[in-house]
Structure formats: C-alpha cells, structure tokens
Amino acid sequence: MSFNINETLADMLKAVKTEVGDNWGEVKTVANQFMNNRKTRLALIAELAITGELSAEKIISRLEDEKLIFEAELHAIAVISKAIAQKAANAAIDVLYKAIDASISAIL
C-alpha cells in the first residue's frame, strides 16, 4: 500500500466527523483548515516514517504534537466539549498513524 496524503486527510476528516456527530457543521471549517494548513507537515512526517528516517519514538512524539495542536484548534470552537475535541483529535491522528503503518508494512 502506498501512502496517499489526500486520501489520508479525507479519512482523517471522516474520523473527526464521526466523533463530533451533530456538531460537524460547526467543526467542519476548522477541521478542513487544520488539515489543509498542516498537509505538508503531516506528509513530511509520514514520508520520514515510511523511509525509516524517523524513529518510531520520534514519529509518536511528532504525531502527539500534531494531535495537541489540532485539539487546541478544536477547543477554540465553544460548541463542542473538551472530551469531544480530544476524541476527534485522537481519531484523526489515529487514521494518519494507521496509514503510515500500513505503508511501512507494505514496504517490508
């Protein structure tokens, strides 16, 4: 499986949508902006992970950073609770991690 950042971002947005449920209308714009603004960085993290240039420990650290940034942006929307923001950020980054892991597994 080859890594495709556009497909992965779309899947990340689907994961967020599932977690925020009825609040998707309020979250959609922020979530889309985050994905578009961070696309290059997320793609770079994935590329470095897939090529082995980034250790597993550093990958996890970088993804945790991205999750916290995304969660903070979601917190800016007063309509959703902290728990929903955390779940949404976790779900999105989990999708990215799984896409990276699948790409690495396909290489091996």
pTM for this one?
Answer: 0.77
pLDDT, one tens digit for every residue, the chain (108 residues): 688 999 999 999 999 999 989 989 888 988 999 899 999 999 999 999 999 998 989 999 999 999 999 888 888 776 677 778 888 889 999 999 999 989 988 877
Q: DSSP assignment of the chain, as one string?
A: ----HHHHHHHHHHHHHHHHGGGHHHHHHHHHHHHHHHHHHHHHHHHHHHTT-S-HHHHHHHHHHHHHHHHHHHHTSTTS-HHHHHHHHHHHHHHHHHHHHHHHHHH-
